[in-house]
């Protein structure tokens, strides 16, 4: 659930609440004995602020509270679990260039963006003192927009994503670190910096490049009314091996908008719980409705 409101022609605020349920799951112990049926879930709430810095540049930030109850109070390896809680922040910048005339009466423009999301305190699910890094993400990308005529526009996008968390070290048979660095006591900021440090990774510079996720997107727009979209995601085979194609469309009518996307797996070996899923989203423009 999302809400956004323009405060002026240069700034706006937004808030969102997202809830994710894993459904009913039969928990078992390490011997396969049933512990009962539980309903693990997670949710977060955030508030955001956006500001137009100039005719071409804008910036945005968000603060987020996270609550994750995936263990449902079970005792795991002798440890009493608890819901994990954390706070995080996002920061992003966006550039939108002016449209310029090219041959054939067409116009073109370029856009670019950079964002760091989910940077915050580690999250713990027990009182043992061990905690995990949040999946902090770094994204940088750009787009090319071709205005064919007054009604038709084609946009092409390319972006690179990577997790801003340290790479786990390679351990020997007796548990000693034989490659990489110890990450247990790293702060989130140090961990984010180590994401770009080849010397902190068992595979060095090669492994640092393998951690990049590449996304390609294509969008056709007709009269700001009808949208057709396609995309492709590629992740290295040693870092998750996610590869899939997305197809979708969007429709805007008056104060309503609807978007749909379908995910098609492209990897012959790696399965995803999201493969062959159909996603819908709907939006209602409250300010536009009140202005009518």
Catalogue the E-assigned strands of the chain: 2-6, 11-21, 25-28, 34-38, 41-52, 57-69, 75-76, 79-80, 84-96, 100-101, 107-120, 137-147, 152-163, 170-171, 177-179, 213-222, 226-235, 243-253, 256-265, 278-284
State the pLDDT at residue 90.
96
31-69 as b/e: b if 16+ CB within 10 A: eeeeeeebebbbebebebebebeeeeebebebebebebb
pLDDT confidence of residue 129 = 66
Q: Is the dihedral of CA 179, 243, 266, 263 positive or negative?
A: positive
**Please, where are the H alpha helices in the chain?**
188-194, 204-210, 286-291
Q: What domain range is 201 assigned to?
A: 2-291
Secondary structure of residue 240 in the 3-state scheme: coil
Neighbours of 84 (CB within 10 A): 20
Longest Cα–Cα distance of the chain, Å, equals 72
- What kind and span of H or E run contains 29? none
pLDDT digits (tens, 9 = 90+) for 206-251: 999 999 999 999 999 999 899 999 999 999 988 888 899 999 999 9
Q: What percent of the chain is predicted at pLDDT more than 70?
A: 97
What pLDDT does residue 111 have?
97
CATH, residue 255:
2.40.160
Cα atoms in the Cβ-side hemisphere of radius 13 Å centred on 142: 5
Tell me phi and psi for residue 151, to 5 degrees. Answer: -115, -25
Global pTM reads 0.83
Q: Which residues of 130-169 are buried (b: 16+ CB within 10 A; e: fewer)?
A: eeebbebbbbebebebebeeeeebebebebebbbbbbbeb
Do 98 and 75 form a contact (C-beta atoms < 8 A)? no
Stretches in the chain below the pLDDT threshold 70: 129, 270, 292
Q: Kindly write down the DSSP assignment for every residue of 188-208, as one continuous string.
A: HHHHHHHTT-GGGSTTHHHHH
| Per-residue pLDDT, 275 | 74
Q: How many CB atoms lie within 10 A of CB 177?
A: 14
- Whose tokens are 């810095």? That residue is 53
Chain length of the chain: 292
State how many domains the chain has.
1
> Tokens for 150?
């007054």
């Amino acid at each position: 659930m999302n809400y956004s409101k323009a405060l002026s022609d240069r700034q706006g605020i937004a808030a969102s609440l997202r809830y994710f349920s894993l459904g009913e799951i039969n928990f078992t112990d390490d011997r396969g004995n049933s512990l009962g049926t539980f309903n693990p879930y997670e949710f977060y709430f955030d508030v955001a602020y956006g500001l137009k810095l100039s005719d071409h540049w804008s910036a945005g930030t968000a603060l987020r509270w996270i609550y994750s109850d995936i263990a449902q109070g079970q005792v795991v390896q002798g440890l009493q679990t608890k819901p994990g809680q954390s706070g995080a922040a996002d920061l992003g910048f966006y550039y939108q260039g002016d449209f310029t005339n090219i041959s054939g009466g067409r116009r073109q423009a370029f856009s670019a963006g950079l964002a760091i999301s989910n940077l915050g305190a580690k999250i713990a699910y027990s009182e043992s003192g061990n905690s995990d890094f949040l999946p902090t993400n770094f994204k940088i990308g750009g787009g090319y927009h071709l205005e064919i005529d007054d009604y038709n526009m084609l946009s092409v996008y390319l972006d690179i994503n990577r997790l801003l968390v340290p790479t786990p070290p390679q351990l020997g048979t007796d548990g000693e670190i034989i490659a990489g660095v110890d990450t247990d006591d790293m702060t989130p900021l140090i961990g984010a910096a180590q994401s770009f440090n080849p010397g902190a990774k068992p595979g060095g510079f090669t492994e640092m490049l393998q951690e990049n996720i590449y996304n390609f997107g294509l969008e056709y727009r007709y009269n700001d009314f009808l949208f057709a979209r396609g995309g492709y995601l590629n992740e290295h085979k040693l870092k998750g091996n996610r590869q899939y194609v997305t197809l979708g469309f969007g429709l805007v009518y008056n104060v309503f908008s609807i978007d749909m996307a379908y995910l098609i797996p492209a990897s012959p070996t790696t399965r995803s719980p999201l493969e062959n899923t159909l996603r819908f989203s709907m939006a209602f423009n409250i300010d536009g409705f009140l202005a009518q």
